[in-house]
């Protein structure tokens, strides 16, 4: 069964450094998402992406964050200048179609990247 | 404010017991998801519902749109069902998702 893959599984970085988290969504999926989960807290929505642009973003997704689909397969989340509070598990997800119209489609999650900012 | 509330927060059951996890939400939704998060952190989508009821093996999910409530049932629970179960809803006014805090289930042999 096709999977969403994320790399690396664990990333350690120093405060102020830029990090790029990578995701390869399922190949025929059209909608891509990033979520984060701070240790011991609930999962939080960051951003959704469709047709090479952000379709929605949360308050968390400020100017320090950006997303990109640089080629036909990768979907990346960049944090420009990491802060200690960015330490979290970051999940990528994809879905085949838009969920609020037409045929509903479930989310498929990657295994996550654990980001530790020191 | 929490757009999605789950109960209970923690649940311990004996193997074989019937389990119910509840989810209430306060926003208009286009779909509700039940997710399973394993101890290692990975998330698996169990169900996506917009109405009625779905069944997959020993898992059953129901939703009542009028009451803004959903339940996840596990029949004949097994220790391998031990995980955190998360309710998440997709707003009907955009592509925003809201997550519950999860229900941590432990099934004892």
Q: Measured between alpha carbons, how far is B109 from B15 in angstroms, rounded to an integer?
A: 5
Degrees, nearest 5: CA angle A71-B42-A6: 20
Dihedral angle sign, alpha carbons of residues B65, A45, B46, B5: negative
**Å between B44 CA and nearest CA of chain A:** 7
Residues A1-28 pLDDT 10s = 779 999 999 999 999 999 999 999 998 8
Question: Shortest CA distance to B31 belongs to which of B6, B53, B9, B48?
Answer: B48
- Residue A106 pLDDT class (50, 70, 90 cuts): confident
Give, as one character, the DSSP assignment of residue A28: T
Q: Is the pLDDT of residue B23 over 90?
A: yes
A30 pLDDT band, cuts 50/70/90, is confident
Chain B CB contacts of A31 under 8 Å are: 95
Residue B82 contacts A where some CB pair is shorter than 8 Å: no
According to the model, what pLDDT value does residue A103 have? 43
Q: Per-residue confidence at A98, pLDDT binned at 50, 70, 90?
A: low
Q: Give the span between the Cα atoms of A47 and A55, in whole angstroms.
A: 8
Mean pLDDT on B89-105: 87
Whether A9 and chain B come into contact, CB under 8 Å, resolves to no
Reply yes or no on whether the pLDDT at B27 is more than 80. yes
Per the prediction, chain A carries an average pLDDT of: 90
DSSP helix/strand/coil, A85:
helix
Indicate yes or no: CB of A43 within 8 angstroms of CB of B88.
yes
Residue B87: pLDDT band by 50, 70, 90 thresholds? very high
CB atoms within 10 A of CB A38: 13
Quick one: average pLDDT of B38-63? 91
Question: Percentage of chain B with pLDDT > 90?
Answer: 78
Asked if A105 lies within 8 A of B48 by C-beta distance, the reply is yes
Distance from CA of B34 to the nearest CA of A (A): 10
The residue in chain B having the minimum alpha-carbon distance to the alpha carbon of residue A32 is: B95
What's the pLDDT at A28?
85
In angstroms, the first-to-last Cα distance of chain A is 37
Q: Mark A72-110 as b/e (b = at least 16 C-beta within 10 Å).
A: eeebebebeebeeebbbbbbbbbbbebbbeeebbbbbbb
Beta strand A43-50 with A53-57: parallel, antiparallel or unpaired?
A: antiparallel
Q: Comparing A50 with A100, which gets the higher pLDDT?
A: A50
Tokens of A21: 């988290």
Least confident of A28-42, B12-26, B72-86: A28-42
Closest residue of A to B2, CA-based? Answer: A42
Tell me how far apart the alpha carbons of residues A31 and A17 are, in angstroms, rounded to a whole number.
28
List CB contacts (< 8 A) between A42 and chain B.
86, 99-102
Q: Does A113 touch chain B (CB under 8 A)?
A: no
B41 Cβ under 8 Å from any chain A Cβ: yes
């Amino acid at each position: 069964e096709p999977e969403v893959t994320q790399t690396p599984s664990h990333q350690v970085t120093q405060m102020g450094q830029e990090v790029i988290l990578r995701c390869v969504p399922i190949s025929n999926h059209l909608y891509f998402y990033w979520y984060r989960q701070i240790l011991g807290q609930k999962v939080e929505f960051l951003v959704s992406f469709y047709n090479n642009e952000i379709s929605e973003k949360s308050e968390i997704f400020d100017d320090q964050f950006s997303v990109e689909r640089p080629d036909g397969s990768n979907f990346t989340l960049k944090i420009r200048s990491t802060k200690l509070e960015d330490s979290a598990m970051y999940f990528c997800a994809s879905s085949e179609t838009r969920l609020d119209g037409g045929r509903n489609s479930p989310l498929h999650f990657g295994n996550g990247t654990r980001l530790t900012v020191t | 404010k929490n757009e999605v509330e789950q109960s209970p927060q923690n649940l311990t059951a004996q193997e074989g017991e019937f389990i119910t996890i509840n989810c209430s939400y306060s926003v208009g939704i286009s779909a509700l998801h039940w997710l399973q998060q394993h101890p290692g952190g990975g998330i698996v989508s169990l169900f996506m519902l917009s109405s009625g009821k779905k069944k997959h093996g020993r898992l059953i999910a129901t939703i009542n749109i009028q009451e803004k409530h959903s339940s996840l049932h596990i029949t004949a629970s097994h220790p391998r069902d031990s995980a955190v179960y998360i309710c998440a809803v997709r707003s009907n006014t955009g592509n925003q998702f809201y997550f519950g805090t999860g229900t941590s289930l432990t099934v004892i042999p």
